[in-house]
Amino acid sequence: MANHSQFGFQDPSSPIIEELVEFHDHALIVALAICSLVLYLLTLILIENYSLKAAVFRLS
C-alpha cells in the first residue's frame, strides 16, 4: 500500500507491472545518460567559444 512519504512506485501486483517498473528504471538511466552528454557537449562548446572570443579580444 502506498503512503504519503513513499519515494517510488508501490509494490507491483502483477508481472506486467513489474516489467513496466523495470522499463521505467531503464528509461530513466537512458534519459540521464543523454542529458549528461548534452550538458557536457554544451559546456564544451560554450567554454571553447568564450575562450576563442577572449583570445581574439586580447589580440586586437
What are the tens digits of pLDDT across the range 3-59? 778 777 778 889 999 999 999 999 999 999 999 999 999 999 989 887 877 667 666
Q: What is the CA radius of gyration of the chain?
A: 22
The pTM assigned to this predicted structure is 0.69
**Residue 60: its pLDDT value, please?**
60
pLDDT at 33: 99
Rounded alpha-carbon distances, angstroms, from residue 54 to 35, 44, 50, 57? 28, 15, 6, 5
Cβ within 8 Å of residue 12, ≥6 positions away? 18, 20, 21
